[in-house]
């Protein structure tokens, strides 16, 4: 079965009608000062799995009538969905440059070099950058996949340290990398927001290798997409100055 030309034309108009209905519903809700409706969020893995749940918990306590739909993928995936307006907002790790989007940093992050508690360097508090290539030369380095914001940030950090691992193992999630480090399969660098439980339990050990290696987490919004009251309030929440302190209290 194939859609006729008339059907294709009707489909286009029907899609616009449904979108206008959704926008009108949101606009009316805003006029009566009700923060309700649906909020569609796209988030990269690090933000979506380790930061966003706490943001949603804080937001839901204020606005329990808002319903969420969350889609998680790598930074490239979220960027594409923000650009085609299929999500209300995107939250990603690493700066995105796109003239169609408004990009705003909402949180600072730090990348930390970690090893297993059973690693020979586990008791090392810090290491000089020039020693990294020597002491970690034969040790596999665990990395995220192409398109990941964490991978891009780590690659830049390794260049800064002049560290070029001979053996790189690519894994598709932060959790898989942490499990591999705990099993002493290799070493890696990950966001401080992803490591709180493992550091507390002592299953992995951080090694200071230079001045803090930082990056930002960014909010993506399409410049022409209608912003509902729910979206506006969520954006207001994550752009507050003391967000890091709020998240720390929620941990």
Tell me the CATH number at 161.
3.40.190.290
Position 22 scores a pLDDT of: 73
For the chain, how many structural domains are there in total? 2
Q: Is the dihedral of CA 199, 108, 148, 40 positive or negative?
A: positive
pLDDT digits (tens, 9 = 90+) for 144-196: 988 888 899 999 999 988 888 989 999 989 999 999 999 999 999 999 999 98
Q: 29 and 96, same structural domain?
A: yes
Q: 151 and 141, same structural domain?
A: yes
**Residue 162 CB neighbour total at 10 angstroms:** 10
Q: 47 and 16, same structural domain?
A: yes
Position 7 scores a pLDDT of: 84
Between CA 183 and CA 169 the distance in angstroms is: 14
Q: 13 and 99, same structural domain?
A: yes
21-42 burial, b for 16+ CB within 10 Å, e for fewer? eeeeebeebbeeeebbbebbbb
Q: 246 and 166, same structural domain?
A: no
Q: 33 and 15, same structural domain?
A: yes
Position 66 scores a pLDDT of: 92
Between CA 250 and CA 205 the distance in angstroms is: 23
Residue 147 is part of which domain span? 109-215
Phi, psi of 28 (to 5 degrees): -65, -40
Position 251 scores a pLDDT of: 57
Q: 65 and 82, same structural domain?
A: yes
Q: 146 and 83, same structural domain?
A: no
Q: 176 and 210, same structural domain?
A: yes
Chunk the chain into consecutive blocks of 10 residues (it has 251) and report each block's average pLDDT, rounded to whole numbers: 85 85 67 75 94 92 91 93 94 91 94 93 86 85 90 90 91 93 95 92 90 91 89 92 77 57
Based on its alpha-carbon atoms, the radius of gyration of the chain, rounded to whole angstroms, reads 21
Strand ranges, E, within the chain: 38-44, 67-73, 89-93, 101-116, 141-143, 168-170, 188-191, 204-207, 213-222
Q: 162 and 99, same structural domain?
A: no
Q: 197 and 210, same structural domain?
A: yes
Q: 85 and 98, same structural domain?
A: yes
CATH code of the domain in which 232 resides: 3.40.190.10
**Residue 171 CB-half CA count within 13 A:** 20
């Amino acid at each position: 079965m194939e859609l006729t030309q008339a059907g294709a034309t009707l489909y286009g108009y029907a899609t616009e009608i449904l979108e206008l209905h959704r926008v009108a519903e949101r606009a009316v809700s805003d006029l009566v000062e009700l923060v309700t409706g649906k909020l569609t969020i796209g988030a990269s893995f690090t933000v979506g799995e380790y930061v966003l749940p706490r943001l949603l918990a804080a937001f839901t306590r204020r606005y329990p009538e808002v319903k969420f739909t969350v889609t998680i993928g790598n930074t490239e995936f979220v960027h594409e969905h923000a650009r085609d307006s299929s999500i209300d907002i995107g939250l990603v790790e690493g700066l995105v440059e796109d003239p169609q989007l408004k990009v705003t940093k909402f949180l600072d992050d730090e990348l930390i070099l970690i090893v297993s508690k059973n690693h020979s360097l586990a008791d090392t508090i810090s290491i000089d950058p020039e020693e990294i290539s020597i002491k970690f030369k034969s040790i596999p380095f665990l990395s995220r996949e192409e398109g990941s914001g964490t991978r891009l940030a780590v690659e830049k950090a390794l260049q800064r340290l002049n560290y070029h691992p001979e053996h790189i193992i690519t894994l598709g999630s932060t959790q898989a990398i942490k499990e591999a480090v705990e099993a002493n399969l290799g070493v890696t660098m990950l966001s401080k927001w992803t490591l709180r439980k493992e550091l507390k339990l002592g299953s992995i050990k951080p090694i200071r290798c230079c001045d803090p290696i930082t990056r930002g987490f960014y909010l993506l919004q399409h410049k022409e997409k209608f912003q509902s009251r729910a979206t506006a309030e969520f954006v207001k929440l994550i752009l507050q100055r003391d967000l890091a302190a709020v998240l720390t209290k929620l941990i």
